[in-house]
Structure 1
Amino acid sequence: MSQFKSAEEAEAAGKYVRKVRSFVKREGRLTKGQAAAIERYWPKMGLELEQGRLDLAQVFSNSNPVTFEIGFGMGYSLVTMAQQAPERNFIGVEVHEPGIGACLMAAGDAGVDNLRVFNEDAVLVLEHCIADAALDRVQIFFPDPWHKKRHHKRRIIQPEFIEKLVVKLQRGGILHLATDWQNYAEHMLEVLNNNPKLKNLSASDDYVERPSNRPKTKFEQRGERKGHGVWDLMFEVL
């Protein structure tokens, strides 16, 4: 920003300026393998806020539809999806650095080249890097349920956030959510049903069966063995 006299001047020229914010990345402890994967694969697969609004066709060198996943954890299911759908492009956003390393390691081992990742807050990525109507699909699987009632306001699925996602999705695009907390599933359903720009794809106007393109995570399989339920929601942008 040295050529600008102020942050305001830089922003007026279309340059991204990092602001102080309450969000703090979860750094965690990297394994040697994760650190090596970041060093090796980040130059090709990593995306930065400072790049500003992305031309996704240029990022992937093709015009394939883009799936955008928020909070991919260690990334194993995201890598599997990218590997099984080479006709699609995938962007994952995660704030946990060991998860970034694990995802890049798995992608490298699998030879996946249709995946890019952000180590950032999804709200900032959407605001600064993703153009309106640029995404074909957005998926959020097993977000933190904040199960105590007094913490429900911290849940990521809120009307304002869903509106931000809808704007970034193309008409006919899909918003796919999944949770293993029934109370959160009911909250998600209420929020999505109240958005007039979304249509529930469930035949029963509530939840759908797990689509075949969403791999079961180890966490999910462990929960099922204990009798825990999982709720998938799929809505289409009108």
Structure 2
Amino acid sequence: MKPTEFSEISKLLSNQGTKVLIDHHPNPDVEAFEYLYSRVSASSTAELVFQFVEAVGLNKFINIDAAKGLYAGIITDTGSFSFACNSPVPYRIVAQLIELGIDAEHLHRLIFDNFSESRIRLLGSALSEKMVTLPEFHTAFIILSKTDMEKFNYKAGDSEGIVNYPLSIKEINLSIMLTERDNLIRISFRSKGDFPANQIASEYFEGGGHKNAAGGNSHVSMEETVKKLRNILPLFREQLDFVIS
């Protein structure tokens, strides 16, 4: 998604000030910015923001509210330090944020243990009734129609993170979730190891993202989108045939 697609950011971009884009995503959209600070290997954009502020000597302006935001950015982008976390850098940053006074345990609960009952029931239904596995491709699908989501009083964000759950299955290396929205199908990809989920997103579904976490869109029906994915997977059979050990 481009920065200009967020209404609040669009307002900021319309002013005459010098604009700096800080981003850890591949191929960032830099059209509206004068400067770019980017490193794809960073755990999160929050990590880069902290390092940028530190590099220009503005640490004293990181108050408790800013520290909370930086912690939230790191902890969500790393899935509570379960991926993109082999560098000691984000751990050191979080340690400094805790020293500044954040309550990391409380913030973690607010982010990860603060869902509605309907969201949890949607998760249960998605995994028990809407998940299909394709063992020959080490892949799982979760397919959620508008009717499925309306059944559980869907609100924005309720499907966030559901796509990660199939990767808990030992033999699954690629998880794909399709959600039906107005006039399009939103597709989320998550993968293990070195499998490039973003390659499928960018080459076939107008999307992109990280190697292990990407997204895209389809403008045909759910049935046609699933058929397209099933036709694409054989092209990646060898890449998907691995075991994490």
TM-score band w.r.t. shorter chain? under 0.3
- If asked which structure has higher relative contact order (CA below 8 Å, sep 6+), I would say 1
Q: Which has the higher helix share?
A: 2
- Which entry has the higher C-alpha Rg, 1 or 2? 2
Q: Structure 1 length as normaliser, TM-score?
A: 0.27
